Amino acid sequence: MENTNDKKQIVFSAIQPSGTITLGNYLGAVKNWVKMQQSGEFDCIYALADLHTITVRQTPSVMRQNIINAYASILACGIDVEKSPFFIQSHNPNHAQMAWVLNCYTQFGELSRMTQFKDKSAKHADNINAGLFTYPSLMAGDILLYQADKVPVGSDQKQHIELTRDIAQRFNSIYGEVFKIPEGFIPKDGARVMSLQNPTAKMSKSDENVNACVLLTDDNDTIMRKFKRAITDSEAHVCYKEGKDGINNLMSIYSSVTGLSFEQIEHDFEGKGYGDFKVAVGEAVINELEPIRKRYEQFVKDKKYITECYTKSDELAFKISRRTMDKVMKKIGFIK
């Protein structure tokens, strides 16, 4: 991958390694990573954002395995490191260096207003550390290091993109046009997948209810069981409208996997009950995930292949990002 091609916009995106990827991670982000890579329209750069994970305490052995599992999962989804680097963030020291520099160009008040900081502080009241407060500066560094034009994000990350733009504009106003100002965008096909047991909350691997979340490693019977138990409503009418959070979520999942519009789904299931619809969604998801699961099982056992993939990607990511880091250091006044 060459980022010197002026015709192609640079896309940067990263995901935290919480172990096995969920259906929500896949439909909300990774499936679109693959589409953007395959389109040939962009120079794509992808990362496993493991530095971000330590704002919450981790068990070292579990964290190491989570990184391997997440990396294997995303390769299994279709990311090709021959086309786009998919690197491990902690292997590139430019990220930590840029994060410190940008901390000094980020205002305390800006970080105080970040809603995710407030949410995570409430969840981890016994460990409200400085990293939890300043990690938006690290995220800004992740993006700005690669002179990204576009950053695909979920709606919950838009605030961080705005902050990244503000930091970049502030730096540029002092030192000249150093950073490209990135644009956040929510991909058209990106589904916000909600919990199958509480459809007002985002699907999460950490959910205490095992039936709430579908994992890419779930076998076919487990996937079907989870969809059959999905929370719906008493109306028994498959249609997308306010107040039908459970059915809306299932329709979003079904649409993302099959490519069918909501109107077509409503037409296809006119007069049919929720039981039929849940089975159809389960079957569609099984068809989508089964080949991914088989590739994952192959990759996760092949440590040599995984190491080769991330080593090659790490080297390319370092080379690209170092150009920006060197320019930043020179502009500020550090000596080489």
CA distance 241 to 239: 6
Single out the catalytic residue among 8, 35, 180, 205: 205
User: DSSP 3-state assignment of 63?
Assistant: helix
Report the candidate in 78, 48, 81, 40 with the shortest Cα–Cα distance to residue 64. 48
319 to each of 86, 188, 273, how far by Cα in Å? 14, 32, 56
Contact 243, 197 (CB under 8 A): no
Single out the catalytic residue among 31, 120, 226, 244: 120
- Tell whether the torsion through CA atoms of 211, 214, 219 and 225 is positive or negative: positive
* Catalytic annotation present for 120: yes
* Catalytic annotation present for 319: no
* Catalytic annotation present for 31: no
CA 331 from centroid of its chain's CA atoms: 32
**Site of tokens 């999942």:** 253
Cβ-proximal residues to 266 (8 Å cutoff; 6+ apart), any chain: 238, 239, 240
Contact 171, 325 (CB under 8 A): no
CA distance 150 to 164: 12
Single out the catalytic residue among 8, 35, 180, 202: 202
CA angle 12, 18, 24 (to 5 degrees): 70
Neighbour count for residue 133 (Cβ, 10 Å): 18
Which residues participate in catalysis according to the annotation?
A: 120, 202, 205
